[in-house]
Amino acid sequence: MLDGVEVRLAQPADAPELFVLQRASWVSEQHDNPGLRVPALHETYDELVDWLARDHVLVARAGGRLVGAVRGSLADDGTTWHVGRLMVAPDLGGRGLGRRLLEAAEAAAPAGVAAYELFTGAGSARNQRIYKKAGYRHAGELEPGVVRMVKRAGRR
C-alpha cells in the first residue's frame, strides 16, 4: 500500500490536475482495447468540470501530488451507484491505491443503494481481475467491447 495518501472530496481547484491525470491514466485502457473509443481520452476540460460539480468525486493526494481519483453517481433507478473514472497515476499502479479508491467510492454511496456498477473495456483483463477480486461480476456488455460489472451493495 502506498503511504502518505490522503483521500478526500475533490474541489474545483483539483480540475486542472485531474484533467491531466485522466489523460495519463486512460492511455493503457486505449492500448488494451484498440478500436474502442475511450470517452475519458476525448472528454473536454469543461466536461470534466461539469461532472466534478455534479458527481461525488474523490481524489487521492500524496506529497501534494494528485495521484488518483474516482467518481460515483446515483443511477436513474435510484438503487444503483455507478462507479466511474477510477484512475491511478501510471507510475503508482499495483500498490493498492485503485482498490482503496474503489472501496471509498462504494462507501460514499447513499443509503438504499442495492448495487454498484462499473464499466471497463472487454480487453482490459487486469482491470477485470481487480474488479472481480473486489466482488464485481460480469453482467453483460453496455455496447460491443464495453463490459458491465456489478456488485451487490454491502458485499466485501
pLDDT digits (tens, 9 = 90+) for 96-122: 999 999 999 999 999 999 999 999 999
Q: What is the Cα–Cα distance from 55 to 113, expressed in whole angstroms?
A: 16
* H or E element, residue 58: strand 56-62
Q: What is the Cα–Cα distance from 113 to 91, expressed in whole angstroms?
A: 34
| Domain encompassing residue 36 | 5-152
Grid coordinates representing 99 are 482498490
Q: What mean pLDDT comes out for the span 4-15?
A: 95
| CATH number of residue 38's parent domain | 3.40.630.30
State the pLDDT at residue 130.
93
Q: What mean pLDDT comes out for the span 2-19?
A: 93
Residue 4 pLDDT grade (very low, low, confident, very high; cuts 50, 70, 90): confident
State the pLDDT at residue 155.
57
State the pLDDT at residue 154.
75
Summarize pLDDT for 35-82 with one digit per residue, the tens: 889 999 999 999 999 999 999 999 999 999 999 999 999 999 999 999
Number of structural domains (the chain) is: 1
Provide the whole-model pTM: 0.92
Please give the DSSP secondary-structure letter assigned to residue 121. Answer: E
Summarize pLDDT for 120-150 with one digit per residue, the tens: 999 999 999 999 999 999 999 888 899 999 9
